[in-house]
Structure 1
Amino acid sequence: MKFDDFDTTFDDFGTSEVITDNVSEKKQFLPWHKPRKQWIRHKQWWKQIDEHIVRKLKPGIDTIKYFGLPGNDLLDIRFFQQKLPSLEKKICLFGLINTEKGWSSAQTQLSKIMDLDGVDKSSKVEQLNFDYLENTSSIAFDKLNEFGCFDVVNLDFCENVIPNATENRLKALHNFMEYQFQKISEGWLLFITTRSSKDTTNSTLYEELVACIDENLSEEIYFQEFIRVFSNILLNNNLVVRSDLQNQKHINMLVVGLMNWLIKTAHNRHFKVKLSNVVRYDITGENTNDMMSMCFVFTRVMNFPDANPPLPTKAEQAKNPLNKLSNIKNLDDIMIEGGVEYYAQFVKEQIDLLKEAGYHTDDYLNQICTNDLEKLQTTAEHINSIMEGLEQPQPLISTEVMSSDKA
């Protein structure tokens, strides 16, 4: 299957690594190079990091410890590097890349980035697969343990968080979270980017997520909110009817199930979880909008009988984000609704990042933005003329309707 704007197939989505041996040959743009990715960096990731981590660092602490699946170009790290020096902070990266070529390319990029302010010199990228963390005796887990805990965890999967290709993903994620809960004394952030369509989903792991919904449906406070928000989901004896979960219903229950699963895992370690922000978008050209970008905030709650406030029950926590999860905004619509100048700001910032990573960007708009330009009723020439006036970073216009942080 081909994508609408790209001469690309699903095979390209295994690890978000498209490698060229020569930097001068980097002319191919991929779905994660679209301007909307810059929106995610700004409006989701950086907003959460600034609010929940940077502003809460203790005096004398200037380093944000960051775990991620950064891809071979390290574009996300370059973005954060630009933000942190003015705040007298820096990022310390521990990243995993599972191919030799991808790792080699990332090493080249990292060596350049570490010469800049805002990046800790002990940052590293290992050639390891995240799924290896399902074994706590693995080399991957040893490397993790050497590095310590993390303020920010960014699991930017180009595939499904529970992909067909492995039965180990939830175990790996569970082990990673258990590691964090035991190591960290403060709150932390988890970003997950995942597909959610049925054809990309491991049915066994999906069942594990939906079972977490069933567990909470036994609680009246959750049950009443669930049937109000998801009135189209068929229940039998307060259990989700699996055969009913097709198309959009499948997608909805994957993200709800993932939220419930995270809450259950965190609750056992006396952390509460908040879904701070979520958007969706399409990568297939079939208007499935099944790629989800989700931000979670984990907060430790003191573990003693008269703790104030006490740890909310799993059902109470899982109830709160249901309305938000039933009304996830389409990021492509947000980008278009913002208007041409709003869109151009993200284009410019994305192009600047790509240039720093060695890409030739002269044909960027024509290669990757044609559908957006058509919807905006504008041209590449017009966008270029706007970008020429954006010599300095501009405050981003806040015209989009965001998912509320009040859930």
Structure 2
Amino acid sequence: MTDDELPTEEELDIYQSEPAHTLAPDKLKTDFKAWHHPRKQYVRIEQWCAEVRKLIPALGLSLGDPFKYLTLPGNELLDVRALNGVCDRAGVKLRYLGFNSVGAQTPEAVELALSQSEVRSLSSIDEHSKVLDYRLEAIANRRSPAHEVTMRAGPFHAINLDLCESIAFREIGHRKGSSLEAAGKLLELQLQSAKPWLLFITTKAQPDLIADFARDGFMHALDANSRASEAFKAKLIEMLASKIEELDTDIRSAWTRQDVRFLKLFSAGLGKWMLGILARASPPRGISLLSGCYYQSGTSGPNMLSLAFRCDGAVQVLQDPTAILPAPEEAARATEVEAALALADTAIAMFDLDAHVRQSEVLEKLVDKSGRLLASARFGEDAYRSWAYSLYQS
């Protein structure tokens, strides 16, 4: 990733929210959290906003139509504030369905209510937007109101699973729910979509935070392609810097070590798991990994992934067994092996976001834009600049 690949100043400006609040300096918030980090602004710009901006023209939406977006927005709805600018420029309304379990009459609930009031006043927010006081995992429970609301609201044009924990940690059927099971339920819902759609996943990725069933499933998905395609096996060898005679051993070893090889293998396994599901749908769909990066949260080395996927829609074609009607033309589609090879290529190309953001010019741009975004949520912009730059003082 180079400086030249960053959006221009004009492009960056479309992602910004309304002007900052005119509060007294002592009333502005200064309690900055991990999601206020400058690198998170890179994710908002380069993955979320940029990909939504590219997708909207392909959807055929008319002026004022809703762009439907499922999100885990946090208390400040920073992603919604940023995407408002994208939708405003495209002439569509952002209709979001958020999940944020803050509880009743808590400080978090007060902040969320205030942020929702602010966001609803923005120029391109659809009036039917809402945030549910449920965890994402409630989607997988058919008896939960969250499940019913989600099924009615979807399918979505973009889904943003911005998780603080691992998507693959809890078992299916766990009493607290499973993020992976919720993701599967969303994939099922999205099979109703005839249009392409986006899936953003931010997840913690650590060997001790991946359940056995998930690791085994990801390994099985990768192994199936490796056995079916020598080209895919070569990609795994490249991904792990391995040799053909050592590949099986290196794969088993990679799942146990907190390093970049594990992160790339995790990303490829997660993507291949979803590809396997979508490729077996009727009609089949494809999925591509558009971009991926990793960064460090804690002291154990890089352990967070930010992934952007684009999923194909599919139209159910009419089949006439009597042949009175002409046979429909079948659209060309990549095979599952071809799609898996593309997934592997992008996983191999994943980069260290922390190293990229440390570049002075990149950091300056991100701090400036993030400061402006946070100011719209009642944070002190000057205090933010001091905090953000302090993160990079060694």
Map of 1:217 onto structure 2: 226
Distance 1:273 1:255 in 2: 13
Of 240, 256, 264, the residue aligned with 2:276 is 264
SS at match of 1:158: coil
Give the equivalent residue in structure 2 for 1:190. Answer: 199
Identity %: 22
2:222 is paired with a residue whose SS is helix
Indicate how the Cα distance of structure 1 residues 53 and 192 shifts in structure 2: closer, same or farther if over 3 A, else same.
same
TM-score, with structure 1 as normaliser: 0.77
Aligned-residue offset at 1:345: 2.3
Cα shift at 1:354:
1.6
> Is it true that 1:344 corresponds to 2:364 in the alignment?
yes
Cα distance in 2 for residues equivalent to 1:235 and 1:264: 27
d(CA) in 1 for partners of 2:311, 2:354:
28
- Residue among 290, 315, 328 paired with 1:276: 290
Q: Is the 8 A contact 2:194 2:315 kept in 1?
A: no
Shift of 1:324: 2.4
Assess if the C-alpha contact under 8 Å between 1:281 and 1:332 holds in 2.
yes
Select 1:173's aligned residue among 156, 173, 183.
183
Alpha-carbon shift at residue 107 of structure 1 (Å): 2.6
Q: CA RMSD in A?
A: 2.7
5 Å matches for 1:45-60?
45-54=48-57, 56-60=59-63
**Letter matched to residue 62 of structure 2:** P
User: Is contact 1:279–1:328 with CA below 8 Å preserved after alignment?
Assistant: yes
Corresponding residue for residue 311 of structure 2: 298
CA 1:104–1:80: 2 relative to 1, 3 Å: same
* Contact 2:242/2:250 (8 A) holds in 1: no
| Deviating more after overlay: 169-178 vs 156-165 | 156-165
Q: Supply the distance in 2 between the matched residues of 1:61 and 1:194 (Cα, whole angstroms).
A: 33
In structure 2, the residue corresponding to 1:98 is in which secondary structure?
coil
Change (3 A) 1:323 1:88: closer
Shift of the alpha carbon at 1:139?
1.8
Matches of 1:185 and 1:264, distance apart in 2: 19
Structure 1 residues 224-248: Cα deviation after superposition (integer angstroms, max 9, x where no partner): 4333443428888979853552222
* Aligned partner (choices 205, 210, 226) of residue 201 of structure 1: 210
Aligned counterparts of 2:363 and 2:334: Cα–Cα separation in 1: 40
Q: Contact 1:70–1:96 (CA<8 Å) still a contact in 2? A: yes
CA shift at 1:316, angstroms?
2.0
**Offset from partner CA, 1:303-347 (integer Å, 9 cap, x none):** 66975443333222111121321231111222233x33x422221
Aligned runs of 1:144-163 on 2, under 5 Å?
Answer: 144-163=150-169
What secondary structure sits across from 2:288 in the alignment?
Answer: strand
Which residue of 2 is the match for residue 33 of structure 1? 36
In 1: Cα distance, 2:89 partner to 2:393 partner: 34
Displacement, 1:260? Answer: 0.5
AA aligned to 1:322 is A
**CA distance in 2 between partners of 1:257 and 1:94 (Å):** 28
For the 8 Å contact 1:234–1:240, the answer to whether it is kept is no
Distance 1:329 1:116, change over 3 A: same
Counterparts of 1:60 and 1:352, CA distance in 2:
28
Partner of 2:240: 230
Q: Would the alpha carbon gap of residues 209 and 136 (structure 1) be closer, same or farther in structure 2, given more than 3 Å must change? A: farther
The alpha-carbon distance between structure 1 residues 138 and 234, as it changes in their structure 2 partners (threshold 3 A), is farther
CA distance in structure 1 between the partners assigned to 2:245 and 2:162 by the alignment: 32
Alignment pair present for 1:326 and 2:348: yes
SS at match of 2:311: strand
Match of 2:287, SS state, is strand
Residues 278, 293 of structure 1: 8 Å contact kept: yes
CA distance in 2, matches of 1:135, 1:239: 39
Gaps of 5+ in 2: 1-25, 318-326
Cα distance in 1 for residues equivalent to 2:382 and 2:248: 56
Shift of 1:89: 2.2
Shift of 1:120: 0.7
Per-residue CA shift, 1:341-397, capped at 9, x if unaligned?
Answer: x422221221122222122343323334324255xxxxxxxxxxxxxxxxxxxxxxx
| One-letter code aligned to 1:280 | Y
Deviates more, 1:114-123 or 1:133-142: 133-142
Unmatched segments (≥5 aa) in structure 1:
1-22, 375-407
Pick the aligned partner of 1:42 from 33, 41, 45: 45
Structure 1 position 77, deviation (Å): 0.7
**TM-score with structure 2 length normalisation?**
0.80
Contact kept in structure 2, 1:279 and 1:329, CA below 8 Å: yes
Deviation at 1:301, TM superposition (A): 4.3
Deviations 1:234-273 (A, max 9, x none): 8889798535522224333211110101101211221111
**In structure 2, how many angstroms separate the alpha carbons of the residues matched to 1:43 and 1:230?**
26
